[in-house]
Amino acid sequence: MARGDKSKYTDKQVRKAEHIAESYEARGVPEPEAEARAWATVNKDDGGGKKPGGSGRGKATGHPAAHKGGRTGGTASTSRTPEQRSASAKKAAETRKRNAAKTAG
């Protein structure tokens, strides 16, 4: 199978890549880059084409990347009080202000 040949991918894998590419394009990524990222994601999830002769044939996958999103975000801040979060935000703002002054001057 030549590089770039998609004949060993299933219809579902092709649909998945198209959907991912559309999402990247909607966020302003150029079409060739979006398509490359989409196929890289399909390969990451599935290990390659699932039809006979494809490198992903017969390899089980748990699709870990597809199930991870949104699960871990925000857990650190929810374990802190509003006062602690506010103090942290004020400290971060002060640090950004101080660093901006260093680079500007």
pLDDT computed for residue 84 by the predictor: 94
Q: Are 24 and 17 in contact (CB under 8 A)?
A: no
pLDDT at 60 over 90: no
Q: Are 38 and 20 in contact (CB under 8 A)?
A: yes
| Confidence tier at 2 by pLDDT (50, 70, 90) | low
- The percent of residues in the chain predicted with pLDDT above 70, rounded, is 90
pLDDT at 57 over 80: no
Identity of residue 68: K
Q: Which residue has the tokens 């680079």?
A: 103
| Confidence tier at 99 by pLDDT (50, 70, 90) | very high
pLDDT at 14 over 90: yes
